[in-house]
A = this chain, B = another copy of it.
Amino acid sequence: MTIFSTLDILGTIAFVISGSLSAMNRKLDLFGIFIIAFVTSIGGGTIRDILIGNTPVSWMQNTTTIYLIGGVTIFSIIFRNKLDYLKGSIFLFDTIGLGVFTIMGVETGINAGLDPIVSVALGATTGCFGGVVRDILCNEIPVIFRKEIYATASIAGGFCFMILYTFKIDENIIYISTALLIILIRLLVVKYKIALPLFTIRS
């Protein structure tokens, strides 16, 4: 049980909770909740696997993930009111998932011998895509275009990962620093309402 596989499980749990809470908020039925939970948690990794040609994709090779998603979804349904009581829990679990899955993506890119900038892009894809597919399925504006600086946090984390990696820092320290940086950026952006600049076209 490495720190890497622990993070994988943690990220999956976080995305399943965020996915099933948003599905319940949208009043989807039992099955819709399972689908959204599943898609949110495996979406990013699936796209990552498809892009680099790692097929059959991860969740098909590791059925534990499927049972984990099923179990955590049932847990989320039962404890939905307690989970939602923590105001902003969707935001919180989504952010944890983003932080953890970004690391998985960057690490996969490095292991596949891809260029650093490509590994950062792969990290952002892995981190963000679960949420993007969830929003497209629900016919909402994808999370990366909302004001909460989603992909930007993921990419900043990816660069942090690559810089620490270049200096041959211990892997576990890289993992934890990267995840904390991503989570911190999102929290600060929301708390202080930081926004990226707009560029309007003169009309």
Chain A residues within 8 Å of B, Cβ to Cβ = 21, 24-25, 27-33, 35, 46, 50-53, 55-57, 59-60, 63, 66-67, 77, 80-81, 84, 112, 114-115, 117-118, 121-122, 132, 136-142, 144-145, 147, 149, 151-152, 195-202
Contacts and interface: CB of A to CB of B under 8 A. Distances in A.
A180 to B, nearest CB: 21
Given A31-B196, A32-B145, A197-B30, A114 B56 contact: yes
Contacts of A35: 144-145, 151
A117 B114 CA distance: 33
A202 B81 contact: yes
A152 B200 contact: no
A112 B140 CA distance: 36
A52 B51 contact: no
